Amino acid sequence: MKKIFLLDHISDGHHSTYIKFLAKSLIQLDCQVVIFFPDTEEINAWISENNWRQENIQCLKFILPESGRFPVAKLRVMLDTITNWRTTRKHIEKAILSLSIQPDLIFFAWLDTYIRGNLVYPIIDKIFPYPWTGLYFQPSHLRYPPNHSWLRFGPLNPSHILKSTNCKGVAILDEGIIHLLQASIGNVPILTFPDFTDTSVPNNKFEVIDEIKKRANNRCIVASIGILQKRKGFLTLVEIAKNNLSDNCFFVFAGELDKNNLGQEEMNDFLDFVNTKPENCFFYLKRIPDESHFNAIISVADILYVVYDYAYSSNILTKAAFFKKHVVSSNKFCIGERVKQYSLGLTASPNVTAESAFAINELSQQIQNGLVNFSPKFQQYQQMHSVEKLCSQMQRLIFDI
């Protein structure tokens, strides 16, 4: 029985969903799992719900230190990364002593935190002696080439840490950059993991569902769901709603408002618009309770708005495929490539209001007329990003490489 220590220091957003599915796949592969996670209460409740025995799976509290205050940003990131590796080692050593379990492998569910700062891997090998692997979510330098990218080799390679002698392989979500990452890290095995999601039965008793249906009054429902971030394009959708550029649509904004990347003027303009209580909009600006409530909003929507201004994968596409919902998405990078490949909807350039409005109008008219002029490959997309695919890829990562 393989003994796996599964770690994530972040508990908000999708992180709790990912840690649960990763842990479940390891249990199904007959591994002994120790989860390191900030919210032990949530994970322990989930373990109890599944009636798993403590000797098979348990959860320990895990929090990394806040970022340091070193004034030079690049050096601060480097020092923070070293601190994260050292802190993680201390947690692991403490767990080995208290549980009498020697891990065969450390799995970082959010590997990104550990490979920042342009550190050379021999430093990490000295700090962290355990065999490790992980899920690398945002290798942004392969989609957004950094300045002077022709210089980014050797120690300046942003992925250099993955060349560590203790790195047994790496999982990524974006199949479009696997060849670039492989060229960057040599013979280290790379596997593409599915961008799986929780497809819990929608909780249609969620109080907002009836209100959305009533207020939509048979108009096409266009939804921006999840944490409302500037990079997810929700301000563009607000502009479309505010200027009534899609008068046959009803707009839903559901999720916590991320204020960190909004300017004060942007924040004030948005909240002022919310306070006018526009007839064509519904706002639920707080954390969606759980995945069944999240899926309830998905199920009532006609179009999911995914014109994100970032290069990464998004499991909103997996939800769209499962619930057979069309999308208006970004026209580039991972999301745009998948939407075009699987015909999941129409695309637009991020932050270009006219393009998003055109795509929404075109798609909403096709939906309402029952004449969508493309054939979505929902089933194929589901299969590529299923939990079953996760188990098979996890088996390869843990046992076969």
- Let me know: does 400 contact 28? Beta carbons within 8 Å: no
**Tokens (6 digits) for 46:** 């989930």
Nearest to 171 by CA among 242, 110, 92: 110
Question: Is residue 348 included in any domain, yes or no?
Answer: yes
Residue 88 and residue 70: Cα distance in Å, rounded?
A: 21
**Alpha carbon separation from 390 to 49, 118, 168, 272, 399 (Å, rounded):** 22, 30, 18, 44, 14
The domain of 150 spans: 3-196+387-400
- Let me know: does 185 contact 390? Beta carbons within 8 Å: no
* Total count of domains within the chain: 2
First to last CA, the chain: 16
Q: Is the same domain home to 180 and 265? A: no
pLDDT tens string, the chain, 401 residues long: the values are 999 999 999 998 789 999 999 999 999 999 999 999 999 999 999 999 999 998 899 999 999 998 877 777 788 889 999 999 999 999 999 999 999 999 999 999 999 999 988 888 999 999 999 999 999 999 888 888 666 554 455 666 788 899 999 999 999 999 999 999 999 899 999 999 999 999 999 999 999 999 999 999 999 999 999 999 999 999 999 999 998 877 899 999 999 999 988 999 999 999 999 999 999 999 999 999 999 999 999 999 999 999 999 999 999 999 999 999 999 999 999 999 999 999 999 999 999 999 999 999 999 999 999 989 999 999 999 999 999 999 999 999 999 87
Question: Is residue 95 included in any domain, yes or no?
Answer: yes
Question: Is residue 201 included in any domain, yes or no?
Answer: no
Q: Which amino acid is at 13?
A: G
- Let me know: does 46 contact 68? Beta carbons within 8 Å: no
Q: Is the same domain home to 166 and 260? A: no
Q: Is the same domain home to 258 and 246? A: yes
Question: Is residue 215 included in any domain, yes or no?
Answer: yes
Q: How far is CA 269 from the centre of its chain?
A: 28
Global pTM reads 0.92
Q: Is the same domain home to 345 and 391? A: no
Residue 240 and residue 249: Cα distance in Å, rounded?
A: 10
